[in-house]
Amino acid sequence: MSPRQSSLRHEEAPVNPAEPYPGSREPYLAARVLDALLREDYGGLSGRVARTREGVALTLTGGRRVRLVPGTLYQDFVVAPGERLTLGEVLGTLAEVADPADAPGVAAFADECAQALAALELHDAHRAEVLAGRPSYESLAAFVDHPVYPTSRARLGVPAEALRAYAPEFAPSFELRWAAVPRRALTPGAAPWPYAEASDVGPDEALFPVHPLAVDEVRGIGGVRLLEEPWRTVRPTLSMRTVELDARTHLKLPLPVSTLGARNRRSIKPGTLRDGALAELLLRRLADPDVLVADEQTYAHTGHEYLAWMLRRLPEGRVVPVAALNAPGVPVEAGDVLPGYLRLLLRWNVRLFVRYGVALEAHQQNLSLLFQDGRMKLLVKDNDGLLASPARLAAAGVEVPGFADERMLTDDPHALADVFVTITLHLAAAAVAFGALPPGRAAALLRGTLAEALDEHGDDPMARLLRARTLDAARLTGKSMITAGTLVAKERSGARDVNKFYGTSGPNYLRRA
């Protein structure tokens, strides 16, 4: 069964989105791309959908009619199984419907598709070899494509020949490079590198780890010495720019790479690490007993987006990324742990929303299950994308963090609900549940668990609003990720944050019979 069917078929059977696609990857990728363009209605593409006695179809450039079927998640219709599309057909249609002002974005997306296809096929050629090497949970999680963004395998800025050396789905290991940075360049709050590394760093210099992919960027920074000798072997985690120093320590480094859209640069801007540390302290105060927040208080920045680092310390216990639950070879049965996981996830996130006006950008990549002392807990990391209401925090007697990024604060409850629906519900909950269970069972489990979490708050206005936006909604909001991430410039889209750009909606899978 194809990996696409996890998001489009109505038969009552779970599917594994990580299983190999039979034959060429191009039809799989082309269908996912067309699904995404149709979901976001880019260029008014939905206007080409016709309903006849023969069914529903979308007409492409050249006159080809592509059969559509109802979608289970996120959108009304998707490409039907058995429709073998080419990227040329889909991208030709994209070019035809695009606004001329979007020509650079359309060209960039075509390159993104080509890179994603090459990465998919390269991984297919090596997946048996990778699995035989008993990869980490982080690498296994990278076997599963992003639930919504079709070209998630594309790492713009990474040469194709470097993927096997640095991309997590290949389970590589490599040595870090290092730089000597003038201490005067450090921003306030910068911590010293806490490990004893052999180096020739002088008393007025600070040691900075450098990802090999960022060497050329660092070499061009004035006053910085790139050291010749690499050392300390690391492994990439699912996020790629974060590497594993050891089982309990991750290191986040900037990369001159874009993922999930050409505008989604994986550098680290000044203030981001401090904002993440402040968000961590806030969440520690608001955490439920079975929710742990990773320690992200040790970091350094120079003011340059390619000279920064952050250490993430994980608690004791077995850590399984939520994104790995639908991957092959993970010794955790997703269906078995789902009820407990969803209860932890939704109860805490609903409480954060209702009592404190906090919505987390904690998707399936930023959440893990922690098996500790015979109990399953929820582990949260990388919190610099959360959204919080100053008024509700203050009303609850909680000090409002002094975030440098003003986009992290809002008193608009609907903006908070947008994050809850698109991140907590769609990615952290539904993508996992529908990937592990038949659609009917997944919907019932989600609906019951969310209702239980909301019932704890009775008639609270924020609980009523969240219920209206989820359980009782005719449609659920979605993000226009390709539109904001690659196709349309910010000046035209008006997106302040390409990761929080909405404008699409899909059927409410929570109301599925």
Instruction: Output the pLDDT for position 427.
Output: 97
Higher pLDDT, 120 or 12: 120
Residue 238 DSSP SS3? coil
Instruction: Output the pLDDT for position 335.
Output: 81
The one-character DSSP state at 214 is G
Instruction: Output the pLDDT for position 18.
Output: 47
Look up the pTM and report it: 0.93
Instruction: Output the pLDDT for position 169.
Output: 97
Q: What is the pLDDT of residues 194-211, one digit of tens each?
A: 998 777 888 999 999 999
Q: How far apart are CA 53 and CA 66, in angstroms?
A: 15
Q: 12: pLDDT confidence band, cut at 50, 70 and 90? A: very low
Q: How far apart are CA 73 and CA 18, in angstroms?
A: 17
Q: What is the dihedral of CA 79, 83, 84, 90, to 10 degrees?
A: -40
* Token reading at 42: 């880019």
Instruction: Output the pLDDT for position 22.
Output: 47
The answer to whether 168 and 160 are in contact (CB under 8 A) is: no
CA distances from 122 to 83, 116, 157 (A): 23, 10, 17
Q: 265: pLDDT confidence band, cut at 50, 70 and 90? A: very high
Residue 409 lies in a domain: no
| Cβ neighbour number for residue 333 with a 10 Å cutoff | 10
Residues in the chain: 513
Q: What is the pLDDT of residues 227-258, one digit of tens each?
A: 999 999 999 999 999 999 999 999 999 999 99
- With a cut of 80, say whether residue 5 has pLDDT above it: no
Residue 23 lies in a domain: yes
Q: What is the dihedral of CA 468, 470, 472, 475, to 10 degrees?
A: 110
Q: What is the pLDDT of residues 266-280, one digit of tens each?
A: 999 999 999 999 999
Instruction: Output the pLDDT for position 300.
Output: 98
Residue 30 lies in a domain: yes
What average pLDDT does the segment 436-453 reach? 96
What average pLDDT does the segment 1-17 reach? 34
Instruction: Output the pLDDT for position 8.
Output: 29
The answer to whether 111 and 53 are in contact (CB under 8 A) is: no
Lowest mean pLDDT: which of 133-147, 149-163, 319-333, 456-470? 319-333
Place of tokens 């990324």: 321
Q: What is the pLDDT of residues 383-405, one digit of tens each?
A: 999 999 999 999 999 999 999 99
The one-character DSSP state at 340 is H
- With a cut of 90, say whether residue 332 has pLDDT above it: no
Lowest mean pLDDT: which of 211-215, 435-439, 468-472? 435-439
Higher pLDDT, 298 or 12: 298
Q: What is the pLDDT of residues 45-88, one digit of tens each?
A: 999 999 999 899 999 998 999 999 998 799 999 999 999 999 99
* Token reading at 340: 């407990």
Lowest mean pLDDT: which of 170-174, 197-201, 260-264? 197-201
159: domain range? 3-168
Residue 449 lies in a domain: no
Beta strands in 322-374 (DSSP E): 358-359, 367-372
410: left (phi over 0), alpha (psi -120 to 50) or beta: beta
Q: How far apart are CA 198 and CA 486, in angstroms?
A: 42
- How much of the chain is helix, strand and coil, in % rounded to 5? 40, 20, 40
Helices (H) and strands (E) in the chain, counts: 15, 20
Q: How far apart are CA 161 and CA 152, in angstroms?
A: 18
Q: 23: pLDDT confidence band, cut at 50, 70 and 90? A: low
Q: How far apart are CA 151 and CA 146, in angstroms?
A: 8
Instruction: Output the pLDDT for position 243.
Output: 98
* Cβ neighbours of residue 354 closer than 8 Å, sequence gap 6 or more: 457, 460, 462, 463, 466
| Cβ neighbour number for residue 376 with a 10 Å cutoff | 18
Vertex 477: Cα angle to 18 and 435 (nearest 5): 20
Q: 189: pLDDT confidence band, cut at 50, 70 and 90? A: very high
Q: Is 459 exposed, middle or buried (0-12, 13-18, 19+ CB in 10 A)?
A: exposed
pLDDT over 70 percentage in the chain: 95
User: What count of Cα atoms within 13 Å lies in the side-chain half-sphere of residue 474?
Assistant: 0
Residue 78 lies in a domain: yes
Residue 80 lies in a domain: yes
Instruction: Output the pLDDT for position 49.
Output: 96
Per-position DSSP letters for 19-31, written without gaps between them: SPPSS-SHHHHHH
The total of structural domains in the chain comes to 1
Q: Is 307 exposed, middle or buried (0-12, 13-18, 19+ CB in 10 A)?
A: buried
- With a cut of 90, say whether residue 412 has pLDDT above it: yes
Per-position DSSP letters for 263-300, written without gaps between them: T-B----TTHHHHHHHHHHHHHHH--TTEEE-EEEEEE
Residue 276 lies in a domain: no
Residue 372 lies in a domain: no
Q: 330: pLDDT confidence band, cut at 50, 70 and 90? A: confident
- With a cut of 80, say whether residue 141 has pLDDT above it: yes
Spell out the alpha helix ranges (H) of 376-505. Answer: 390-395, 413-419, 431-436, 439-455, 461-469, 481-482, 490-493
* Token reading at 166: 């640095």
Instruction: Output the pLDDT for position 329.
Output: 81
Q: What is the dihedral of CA 427, 391, 396, 293, to 10 degrees?
A: 30
